[in-house]
Amino acid sequence: MRRIGLGIVLSIVFLVLALRGQDYAALVAALRSASYGWLLPAVAVYFVGVVLRAIRWSILLSPVRSLSWRQLLPAVSVGYMANNVLPFRTGEIVRAYAVGRQFGVSKTATLATIVLERLLDGLTMLGFIVVAATAVALDSALQRVALVATVLFLPAFGLLIVAARSSRLLSLVLWLLRYMPAALRARVERMVRSGFSGVAVFRNSSALVQAIGLSVAAWLAEAAMYALVARAFALDLSLVLILLTTAVANLATLIPSSPGYIGPFEAGVLLVLAGVAGVPRPLAFSYAIVLHAALYLPITLVGLAFWSKLQLDWAVLRRARTEEVVPS
């Protein structure tokens, strides 16, 4: 409960910062004058990105279990839905549990592949910032965002490559586990082996390159959505500004917040559009509101539909924290 309360407080803080000094009449006028027909192609291209993420996950999971993107798409959608309605990215746990329940895949191994996804996503966002920095001057706030992303994602990515490609590291971890109580050691050893199997894709250079390429393609699809929603507000944003907005808005969602990342997302959009691009704050904020709604509502509805189809129940959250699904 404390974590949930902290997330809500942080969301409120970011919303207050985003709303500070707003011209509400201009904001409402911008919302009324928008051409909402652009949302249809925007949502369509967003779901192209969702499919690309399902394909990427099938590659990352391939050393553990061979599953097609069509088999994984329901769990991907359920995960997005759960992230939108539950705090602290609980959707990642729900997604791992859903795949474990449906296909008998180890939850620990599945979570390891999801960690790989998040690292690839973070590195792609960092790449977008680097590309944008070649054409626009980053202010001090955006420079700090780039620095934090570098510190978070680059060392972790390198460490996982070492973990995946070094059999000695696994042997060392298992050797250290000998000192654990016997009643606990077997379960922890199983989880460690499952975790290492989840990053095994990094041993295959071809698969790793495919996963990186799909990460870039998926985020370019989402960036295209940002561009299409910008057209709804007659915002003439360059490619580098679209990439920068996509990167900063999504990196901002790493900050603990309320379900759906309300607050940090809008603050991230304003940081780029109002702070760097010189877009009037009411127009930038109205764009952020509509963009966030387009990112939130369709995938949440699709995720709820798949949730019902998979016959999951909300007790899955409690079980997902306590059970380990062992590969069959």
Backbone dihedral region for residue 256 (phi beyond 0: left; psi -120 to 50: alpha; all else: beta): beta
Write down the pLDDT at residue 208.
85
Write down the pLDDT at residue 323.
47
For helices 239-252 and 107-133, angle between their N-to-C axes, nearest 10 degrees: 140
In this structure, the number of other CB atoms found within 10 A of the CB of residue 113 comes to 27
Closest C-alpha among 267, 7, 290, 23 to residue 145: 267
Is 327 inside a domain boundary?
no
What gap in Å lies between CA 89 and CA 115, rounded to an integer? 12
Is 22 inside a domain boundary?
no
In this structure, the number of other CB atoms found within 10 A of the CB of residue 261 comes to 27
Is 210 inside a domain boundary?
yes
For residue 264, give the H/E element and its range.
helix 264-273
Q: How far is CA 143 from the centre of its chain?
A: 21
Write down the pLDDT at residue 227.
97
Is 195 inside a domain boundary?
yes
Is 40 inside a domain boundary?
yes
Please, is 26 exposed, middle or buried when counting C-beta atoms within 10 Å of its C-beta (0-12, 13-18, 19+)? middle
Contact 268, 276 (CB under 8 A): no
For residue 281, give the H/E element and its range.
helix 281-309
pTM above 0.75, yes or no: yes
Indicate the number of domains in the chain: 1
Q: How far is CA 25 from the centre of its chain?
A: 34
For residue 318, give every residue at least 6 positions away whose Cβ sits within 8 Å of its Cβ, in sequence order, or none. Answer: none
Write down the pLDDT at residue 104.
85
Q: Is the dihedral of CA 120, 125, 128, 134 positive or negative?
A: negative
pLDDT in tens, 94-121: 888 888 888 888 787 788 888 888 889 9
Is 252 inside a domain boundary?
yes
Domain with 189, as residue range(s), is: 2-17+35-322
Q: What is the DSSP letter of 294?
A: H
Write down the pLDDT at residue 289.
93
Write down the pLDDT at residue 297.
93
In this structure, the number of other CB atoms found within 10 A of the CB of residue 151 comes to 10
CA angle 37, 42, 45 (to 5 degrees): 140
Is 292 inside a domain boundary?
yes
Closest C-alpha among 272, 310, 18 to residue 136: 272
Q: Is the dihedral of CA 230, 236, 242, 244 positive or negative?
A: negative
Compute mean pLDDT per 10 residues along the chain, 328 residues long, and list them.
54 64 81 95 97 95 90 94 80 86 82 85 94 92 90 82 66 60 59 58 82 96 97 95 96 72 87 92 93 94 90 63 42
Is 188 inside a domain boundary?
yes
